[in-house]
A = this chain, B = another copy of it.
Amino acid sequence: MADKIFRVNMSDLSTTVEPVPAAWMGLGGRGLTSTVVATEVTPTCHPLGRHNKLVIAPGLLSGTQAANSGRLSCGAKSPLTGTIKEANAGGSSAQMLAKLGVKALIIEGKPHDESKWYSLHVTRDGVTISEESEVIGLGNFATVKTLNQRLGEKVGVITIGPAGEMRMSAANISIKDPDSHLRSGGRGGLGAVMGSKKVKFISIEPTNEQVQIADPEAFKTANRLFAKALVDNPISKALAQYGTNVLVNIINESGGLPTRNFTKGQFEGHEAISGETMHDTIVARGGKPKHNCHQGCVIQCSQVYNDLNGNYKTSGFEYETIWALGADCCIDNLDHLADADSLMDDIGLDSIETPVAFAVAMEAGVLKFGDGAELCRILKEDVAKGTPLGRIIGNGAASVGKAFGITRVPVVKGQAIPAYDPRAIKGIGITYATSTQGADHTMGYTIATNILGVGGKLDPLSKEGQVELSRNLQIATAAIDSTGMCLFIAFAALDDATCLPALIDMINARFGISLTADDVTNLGKTILKTEHGFNLAAGFTNKDDRLPEFFAEEPIAPHNVVWDISDAAIDSFWDF
């Protein structure tokens, strides 16, 4: 049975199952969410109003046996940035939705009576809307636990925490993983969009059905090659050993680890929070240094981090989170970081935006740099409960800067800059500036080439070549984000000649088509231009493609460099 568009109208509580329009047929993941948003959402609409739509789409390879194909894309106009937005995460839902024949789930409108909450249940036949009260106000963990009891352990769950219910701009969308823990579609406040629709959670019926593969043998062969390329890659191995947190020491060494609200490029406490220290701590406490966030992942960069007593504390304890809480907020204690990570997962908060917001609050004197206990207390007592301070922080770094009149606010288009200082690693600054979705390293991860020597080498301190590097990576990323693949396949794709052809072969075998590498590149370009077009229609201009002025004026130690790439060079990004 062909995939369908599952559509839910929360204004009149109606649902439909529709054929996939021809123009959307070859799209999946980000390519599809961005196309639907650009086609159906008024660019100037209020992100929390009835004209915005939340689009949830598995990727082109979701539901297949393809290695690392478990990412689910969520898209909408972002309440944080005002731009188009796609956030993707692992967990089980992408595979489950794909197996039910869901090409995309589109949630539109909003109830007139704002006092009621709803849930959606997805089966092969369509979506059922139910009024919901039991889990309203609950954190994500309790919500998943309750739903497991109500609907069975195998049910798929996409949910929002209290942050999403309160429509905070740093609210994420959380996706249940195989261990009934959570993976986060973190950036851009899409949880607030889901909350504005009054949908607390989406449950997905388990199925034994499989997605149809046009050429199963060719698929299997390609997948074998693909998976081998992934596991053989040295970066994959480092990720398996230390998680993404392998980067703390590497980026600190580069001088590009933003520290103390972006005033320094190295953190004195880096050893205490490094991937190496984390690995040893996990092993000593009987956790899992290696762990997958979705079935079929062969990299396994996740981990299970236990507390001092050997009890589960958190998983998916990422470099970005650890950097932001650690270096940026100067908290050199992994247990405080793990507490905060778990709290943010439970409240349903972007674990980049929120700690960067805390660092700005620390500069404003709301709490002290390094005070991890107070940070956790504010998460629990203020953010989770929606006090005024909690709302200021839960709306992100720009919100904190505005509230307290702070000018050193590391955001682009209102979204917090992640874990790489653009003064010391200039390629990533181009990505932050030009990304269609606000500052986001995953949009074009130049760290690969600037620091890790993947896909060639390019001096991070040089101005030359950074625009082209970011452009090429942003185009490739847009395409990868459409497949349902984890972005970490990019390391192998950049350096192993067998990887990308195998990926394309899998897509071709899945659908019985014959895409070329050029087709994939063109897909990436089209997605970027679609997203950019939406933003222009929403009122964005090249003036928004700029880093905050302090980057050009405050040299960062140890290299004592400023952001010095010209506006004209940045604007040339779009010359393709």
Identical chains in the assembly: 2
Contact indicator B391/A404 (Cβ below 8 Å): yes
Residues of B within 8 A of A178 (CB): none
Q: From known contacts A388-B387, A392-B392, infer whether A405 and B167 are also in contact, taking CB-CB under 8 Å.
A: yes
- A223 sits at the interface (CB 8 A): no
Encode contact with B along A174-194: 1 for CB under 8 Å, 0 otherwise: 000000000000000000100
- A196 sits at the interface (CB 8 A): yes
A387 and B168 CA atoms in complex are apart in Å by 19
- A469 sits at the interface (CB 8 A): no
- A539 sits at the interface (CB 8 A): yes
Contact indicator A549/B388 (Cβ below 8 Å): no
Q: From known contacts A405-B167, A543-B539, infer whether A45 and B549 are also in contact, taking CB-CB under 8 Å.
A: yes
- A569 sits at the interface (CB 8 A): no
Q: From known contacts A539-B544, A543-B44, A549-B49, infer whether A192 and B405 are also in contact, taking CB-CB under 8 Å.
A: yes
- A169 sits at the interface (CB 8 A): yes
Contact indicator B392/A403 (Cβ below 8 Å): yes
Interface set, chain A 120-173, CB cutoff 8 A to B: 166-169
Residues of B within 8 A of A168 (CB): 405
- A395 sits at the interface (CB 8 A): yes
Encode contact with B along A518-551: 1 for CB under 8 Å, 0 otherwise: 0000000000000000000111110110101110
Interface set, chain A 389-409, CB cutoff 8 A to B: 389, 391-392, 395, 399, 402-405, 407
A483 and B387 CA atoms in complex are apart in Å by 47
- A51 sits at the interface (CB 8 A): yes
A541 and B48 CA atoms in complex are apart in Å by 22
Residues of B within 8 A of A399 (CB): 402-403
Contact indicator A402/B407 (Cβ below 8 Å): no
- A116 sits at the interface (CB 8 A): no
Nearest chain B CB to A250's CB is how many angstroms away? 32
- A46 sits at the interface (CB 8 A): yes
Residue ID in chain B nearest A43 by CB atoms: B543
Residue ID in chain B nearest A196 by CB atoms: B405
Interface set, chain A 401-429, CB cutoff 8 A to B: 402-405, 407
Residues of B within 8 A of A51 (CB): 549
Residues of B within 8 A of A387 (CB): 388
Residues of B within 8 A of A404 (CB): 167, 391
Q: Which of A387, A395, A538, A550 is packed against the most chain B CB atoms within 10 Å? A: A395
Further pairs besides A45-B549, A48-B405: 19, Cβ < 8 Å: A43-B543, A44-B549, A46-B548, A48-B407, A49-B549, A167-B404, A168-B405, A196-B405, A196-B407, A388-B388, A388-B389, A388-B391, A388-B403, A391-B403, A392-B392, A392-B403, A538-B543, A539-B540, A539-B543
Q: List 17 A-B contacts (CB under 8 A).
A: A44-B543, A44-B546, A45-B549, A46-B407, A48-B407, A192-B405, A195-B405, A391-B392, A391-B403, A392-B392, A392-B403, A395-B402, A399-B402, A399-B403, A537-B543, A538-B543, A539-B543
Binding site for B on A (CB under 8 A): 43-46, 48-49, 51, 79, 166-169, 192, 195-196, 387-389, 391-392, 395, 399, 402-405, 407, 537-541, 543-544, 546, 548-550
